[in-house]
Amino acid sequence: MTEDPAGGGMKPSPARMYDYYLGGHHNFPVDRQAANEIITAFPDMPVVAQANRAFLRRAVRFLIDQGISQFLDIGSGIPTVGNVHEVAQAANPDAHVVYVDMDPVAVTHGRALLATNPNATVIQADAREIDHLLENREVQQLLDISKPVGVLLVALLHFVPDDATASQILAHLYEVVAPGSFFAFSHALDERTAAVTPEVLEAASGVYQRATAPFAARTRERITRLVAPLELVEPGLVYLPLWRPESADDVLLNEPARAAALAAVGRKR
């Protein structure tokens, strides 16, 4: 995509910036410029995005192994290879998947990609309006939330900087899903490393401030509070690459702190 359909004045979008980090083509000049500013401040950004996608796939495989056959992926982003429905339906062709994103480009591409897949869809909705999201006709057609569901909040809640709002999203979902449901979660970490300095975090929040959603990494303590309702499965809340790695070649497995993000999977008690 090279055109700016808005003809200027368009804001960078986290969904399209993430697509750019992953080497995708569903992004505009305004997204690439913002993403390149992030990469200049934090050169690991593309590898971190890959580590995050790898965690997402491992978590979906784990949930399938736990008997989960329906997924609600909120903040799903632009469909790229190795999507939730591909991983889930490879293991269970009857798995149902609803993707949710507030970015219209993510939704348009997702709908085109899934046009021939009767068990998966994408809807446009805001994670901060869970009731509205659950009332969506397609959500209700594809998911039966009276039965266990896998809720994916992967690299989403750092785009909801207010702690009370972020906690409310998880608490509300926790309340409405059936016992035995699982949540998979990842989140950018505010922890000093050689690569993550206060200046880098400041630069990142500055760039996303001009985007369609603001960004704020959280400390380990604040992330721990966010996932407090969940009964975490082993190994708990860990650096992204350390969550049930599958191979010695997993991205950043030998330098997990470089992922600058934590991940966990937990169940509704």
Ligand X SMILES: C[S@@+](CC[C@H](N)C(=O)[O-])C[C@H]1O[C@@H](n2cnc3c(N)ncnc32)[C@H](O)[C@@H]1O
3 state DSSP class of 152: strand
Query: CA torsion angle for 103, 172, 168, 131 (degrees, to 10)?
Result: 50
Q: Which of 193, 182, 204, 232 is nearest to 72 (CA)?
A: 182
- Which one of the spans 58-66, 100-108, 172-180, 249-257 is the region binding ligand X (CB under 6 A)? 100-108
Counting contacts by CB under 6 A, is residue 102 touching ligand X?
A: yes
Counting contacts by CB under 6 A, is residue 77 touching ligand X?
A: yes
The amino acid occupying position 174 is Y
- Tokens read off for 31: 């997204």
Q: Is 192 exposed, middle or buried (0-12, 13-18, 19+ CB in 10 A)?
A: exposed
* Minimum distance, C-beta of residue 98 to ligand X, in the bound complex (Å): 13
Q: Is 134 exposed, middle or buried (0-12, 13-18, 19+ CB in 10 A)?
A: middle
Which of 213, 240, 260, 262 binds ligand X (CB under 6 A)? It is 213
* Minimum distance, C-beta of residue 72 to ligand X, in the bound complex (Å): 12
- Cβ atoms of 152 and 84 within 8 Å: the answer is yes
Counting contacts by CB under 6 A, is residue 76 touching ligand X?
A: yes
Which of 12, 75, 110, 256 binds ligand X (CB under 6 A)? It is 75
In the complex with ligand X, which residue's Cβ is closer, 60 or 177? 60
Q: Which of 200, 226, 222, 202 is nearest to 214 (CA)?
A: 202
- Tokens read off for 16: 């399209």
* Minimum distance, C-beta of residue 56 to ligand X, in the bound complex (Å): 5
Which of 56, 120, 143, 240 binds ligand X (CB under 6 A)? It is 56
Counting contacts by CB under 6 A, is residue 109 touching ligand X?
A: no
In the complex with ligand X, which residue's Cβ is closer, 18 or 71? 18
- Residue 235: asked if its preceding bond is cis (omega within 30°), the reply is yes
Counting contacts by CB under 6 A, is residue 184 touching ligand X?
A: no
Binding string, residues 146-165; x marks residues near ligand X by CB under 6 A: --------xxx--xx-----
Binding string, residues 6-25; x marks residues near ligand X by CB under 6 A: --------xx--x-------
Query: CA torsion angle for 19, 22, 23, 26 (degrees, to 10)?
Result: -10
- Which one of the spans 32-40, 48-56, 191-199, 223-231 is the region binding ligand X (CB under 6 A)? 48-56
Binding site residues, ligand X, CB under 6 A? 14-15, 18, 52-53, 56, 75-77, 101-103, 106, 126-128, 154-156, 159-160, 213
